[in-house]
Structure 1
Amino acid sequence: MRSALVLSGAPGVGKTTVGWRIWDRCIDLGQAPAFADLDLLGAVWPAPVDDPYNARLKATNLAAVWANYQRAGSQRLIVAGVVESVDERRLLEEATGGPVLICRLDAPDAELAVRIERRGREEGDDLTRLVARAAELSAQLAGDGVSDFSVGTGGRSTDEVAGEVFARWA
């Protein structure tokens, strides 16, 4: 059993929502989970030119947060965030001190667009760019071979998806 699960995927696919449901399952089973969101761990502007998505900063912050979580008694780590390359995977493995299990969540592009619009964080051109980026990233992640397995979220409940992912992690 790997102690760290990473939920990757395009914007709107459900990484954070599924992550919290898995966190609940871990609590119910007495597994002492912790949760980290890479977007929040890398929320700084401007990003360095040589690290446009703040992958190094996210990993550095994750290492510190995971160490603190472990000192507090956490045994399993759930991470939500996009992992686009083998190098980013390596950074996360260094940050967590061992192998990570990466689950790529997938959904049809049309469903991603509806979810992104529904959450209401972006408007106008920002919304248009994010919907386009979600479709582009979804295709990229499906072909990059970075994840260990994928789970479809389209037309499924959060409980169904979390159950399938958790079963593969457990």
Structure 2
Amino acid sequence: MGAAKTPVLWTTGAPGTGKSTTAWGLYTRLREAGGSVAYVDIDQLGLIGPPPGGGDAAHAIKAANLLRVLEVLRGTAQVIVSGVVDPANPYIDGPDFDLTLIRLTCDRDELRSRFLGRGSPAAALPDLFAVADAYDRADFGEEMDTTGQRPEETVAALYHRCVVDAGTPRRPDPVPPLPGPVTVVTGPTAVGKSTAAFGALRDLWERGMPVAYVDLAQLGFTQSPDSALLSAVWRGYRDAGAKRLIVVAREFLPEHRRVFDEVTLVHLDADDTTLTERVGRRAEGESALLAGDELRGAPPGVRDRVAARAVAEAAGMRASGGDRVVLDTSGQEPAETAAALLAVVAQ
């Protein structure tokens, strides 16, 4: 008798319908209930450039990487996925998982309000409505109208569709190191790793260099080794044509290093004042909103605790030394740090 298939619940929909908020809410509620659960933002699986010439290509890369990630996650009791799909080909299929695709919708007035309320530009509304219309015409998955619902109500409505179980995630087989070159950007909380790395990445894309990007923290919402996930995603990016990779990680551990055969480690540092200021700016919404962000909208007490932790992390990382390039970002604007990092990556 074969092993049970891993259930995968995927929330999708036009921007503003609540797919990411709902998926993250399900993940946190299942985790708090003691379930073996993983969360995957499929948009994190398609960060390769120069950006593919057309939405179909981008969707294909994400879908292929998602299949690789789901293979690593076999044995997890419940996998939650969020993100856009290709309306013409919305489903993925594999022998080891059962997919439930939930298409979130809401009426146009509320969609407009949600979209603008999160800071998106009014000039993008025609494109937003075009996407919503395309999803409605395709009529895939199970439609769930969230008009008038609070996020927690949408989560509650889907929670009973999920499996709450301890699960037994399997330990993936070891794989040989994959070719680089790979640049790994480390540093304490709020030093600006993701902002600098993505700024350098965009510049490399503009130069026509086929480069991929992984934020290791965004692969970390699982009980499976993130080194196995990192290997799976990099293999997918290589298959899609990437020649080099930028990885962002607070710490780069020995098990991560074993994934690659050529690594340049770049460590971002900053003085106490700069780190404290950056914690405050991130809490006020300066950086991109990512899953699990503990700082967005955090009250002063939380900001103070995170700032103290960041200062302590920085001190510990300075003392650890190691073979790495250290960039002191004290007092720098994001563009300055990105330029300094680019100079290292592009060598």
TM class by shorter-chain length?
Answer: 0.7 to 0.9
**Counterpart of 1:39 in structure 2: which amino acid?**
A
The match for 1:50 is none
Which whole-Å CA distance do the structure 2 matches of 1:101 and 1:82 have between them? 15
The match for 1:166 is 342
Decide which of 162, 174, 183 is 1:5's aligned counterpart. 183
**Counterpart of 1:94 in structure 2: which amino acid?**
R
Which whole-Å CA distance do the structure 2 matches of 1:76 and 1:66 have between them? 9
Contact 1:41–1:57 (CA<8 Å) still a contact in 2?
no
Q: Percent identity?
A: 29
The match for 1:30 is 208
Contact 1:106–1:154 (CA<8 Å) still a contact in 2?
yes
For structure 2, the 5+ residue unaligned runs are: 1-179, 284-295
Deviations 1:61-97 (A, max 9, x none): 111111111111111111111126xxx1x322222x2
Deviations 1:135-160 (A, max 9, x none): 11101111112351111112223332
Which whole-Å CA distance do the structure 1 matches of 2:192 and 2:240 have between them? 27
Contact 2:197–2:341 (CA<8 Å) still a contact in 1?
no
**1:100/1:123 CA distance change after superposition, 3 Å:** farther
The match for 2:307 is 131
Decide which of 278, 283, 287 is 1:115's aligned counterpart. 278
Decide which of 226, 229, 240 is 1:61's aligned counterpart. 229
Which whole-Å CA distance do the structure 2 matches of 1:148 and 1:105 have between them? 10
**Counterpart of 1:26 in structure 2: which amino acid?**
L
**1:129 Cα deviation after fit:** 2.6
Q: CA RMSD in A?
A: 1.9
Where in structure 2 are the equivalents of 1:9-158 lying within 5 Å? Answer: 9-44=187-222, 57-83=225-251, 88=253, 90-95=254-259, 97-120=260-283, 121=296, 122-123=298-299, 125-158=301-334
Which whole-Å CA distance do the structure 1 matches of 2:226 and 2:323 have between them? 18
Deviations 1:42-75 (A, max 9, x none): 124xx7xxxxxxxx72222111111111111111
SS at match of 2:332: coil
**1:107 Cα deviation after fit:** 1.1
Higher relative contact order (CA 8 A, sep 6+): 1
**1:126/1:13 CA distance change after superposition, 3 Å:** same
SS at match of 1:150: strand
Contact 1:35–1:79 (CA<8 Å) still a contact in 2?
yes
Which whole-Å CA distance do the structure 2 matches of 1:61 and 1:140 have between them? 27
Which whole-Å CA distance do the structure 2 matches of 1:64 and 1:126 have between them? 35
TM-score, reference length from structure 1: 0.81
Which whole-Å CA distance do the structure 2 matches of 1:147 and 1:58 have between them? 22
Which has the greater radius of gyration?
Answer: 2
**1:40 Cα deviation after fit:** 0.8
SS at match of 2:261: coil
- The count of corresponding residues between Structure 1 and Structure 2 is 154
**Counterpart of 1:91 in structure 2: which amino acid?**
E
Which whole-Å CA distance do the structure 2 matches of 1:161 and 1:147 have between them? 20
For structure 1, the 5+ residue unaligned runs are: 48-55
